[in-house]
Amino acid sequence: MKFSEFFVKTLREPPKDEESVNARLLEQAGFVRKAAAGVYSFLPLGWRVLSKIENIVREEMDKIGAELLMPALHPKENWIKTERWNALDVLFKVKSQHGHEYALGPTHEEIVVPLMRSAINSYRDLPLAVYQIQTKFRDEPRAKGGLLRGREFRMKDLYSFHQNENDLENYYTNCAIPAYKKIFKRLGLNAIVTEASGGTFSKFSHEFQVEIENGEDTVYVCAKCGLAKNKEIFEEGIGCTVCGKTTWRETTASEVGNIFKLKTKFSDSFHLTYRDNEGKELPVVMGCYGIGTSRLMGVLVEKFHDDKGITWQEAVAPFKAHLISLYESREADEIYEEIGKDLVLYDNRSLVKTTAGEKFMDADLIGIPLRIVVSADTISKGKIEIKRRGEDEAELISKEELFKMLKSK
């Protein structure tokens, strides 16, 4: 895609009102713009990255569940039934012109459970798993973490329905956790499966934590076997429940996913039941599994950046290559046309208005993995220059070598 046809607007300086690394870099590089505290517009570059993240999540979720889309606007009555209307302090509440009250959904148990009453009647209907990727809302008291803590955010939530806790445990352990591990691996993240409080649902839940320098959470990792515990449940001096060792490594991390065994908490609220093979009516057992997709984008920037800008992983980079023209000729246009506009961001800005230095700075700031430069010097040598983001040295290769490289990935 050409700069002249694509909404690419970088800033010379990062915004002064942003505290987090991800917000400062994403705004400066033209991926997002802040509309209000915790509320962001995703510009074309940012939307491409977010879409790639969500497509990876979708590909793995499709293997263990069916995608649907539920409303963001929730009737008050549903939240009254679960006794969370007044209990959840981050719940956005709105009132229609007719006086009806609604919640803007921060989570979807209050919608998915009554929805499943029409789908689940018998043990033959179970197990069942559905998921969605949607915009959600939380009235955060301090939305200062960029994409890590927004008032409006994107999230994937999966819900599973089972006959009993054994079936839930099987799905939780053998389907959900492996799927999550694969998602984070594809994104280039080493996510630590971390024991956390299960709240009112169970003894433990599990969080997927990525170690970053300024992470919001403190995690303790067993120095021998790698078992991890969130600070909220960690007890100093207590041995690891797997290997018995008492040596723990403390680290800061950011949560990128969480999974809960809800059991019958919400099934009981909405009388979601099924009949077993003997005709006995029993409550449906549930699990829920969340990944904040916009939060993931923020974590990727926190994890992968340097003093020049973002260093995107290839799986989620907005384009495969960043093409810079430093010479008024058809050479760069021909390379762009051969590679294809979906694979390359082409900086075709006039050198009368934009210096070569500004083009190079923007390329580093935006962080696409491969930079291609066409100049009078490279043309005279019958070559083009390529440089990988994060590496110091550039190299000269032929156009044929470049095309082969990009089309083989």
Superfamily the domain 3-306 falls into: Bira Bifunctional Protein; Domain 2 (3.30.930.10)
Whether the CB-CB separation of 191 and 179 falls below 8 Å is answered with no
Predicted local distance difference test score (pLDDT) of residue 237? 78
* Alpha-carbon dihedral sign for residues 305, 306, 309, 312: negative
Average pLDDT, the chain: 94
Categorize the per-residue pLDDT at 407 as very low, low, confident or very high, splitting at 50, 70 and 90: confident
- Whether the per-residue pLDDT at 352 is higher than 80: the answer is no
Predicted local distance difference test score (pLDDT) of residue 281? 98
The residues spanned by each domain of the chain are 3-306, 319-408
DSSP E strands, 105-247: 128-137, 152-162, 191-197, 204-211, 217-222, 228-230
* Segment 119-148, tens digit of pLDDT: 999 999 999 999 999 999 999 998 889 999
Q: Which CATH class is domain 319-408?
A: alpha beta
First-last CA distance in the chain:
18
At 392, list the tokens: 């110091």
At 387, list the tokens: 């440089």
Distances (CA, A) of 309 to 117, 254, 299, 343: 49, 20, 14, 20
* Segment 54-106, tens digit of pLDDT: 999 999 999 999 999 999 999 999 999 999 999 999 999 999 999 999 999 99
Predicted local distance difference test score (pLDDT) of residue 201? 66
- Whether the per-residue pLDDT at 4 is higher than 90: the answer is no
* Segment 197-235, tens digit of pLDDT: 877 667 789 999 999 998 999 999 998 888 899 999 998
Bridge partner residues of 156 (DSSP): 133, 291
Stretch 104-113: mean pLDDT: 98
pTM for the model stands at: 0.95
317-334 burial: b if 16+ Cβ within 10 Å, else e: bbbbbbbbbbeeeebbee
* Alpha-carbon dihedral sign for residues 77, 80, 86, 90: negative
* Segment 270-281, tens digit of pLDDT: 999 999 999 999
* Segment 357-384, tens digit of pLDDT: 999 999 999 999 999 999 999 888 989 9
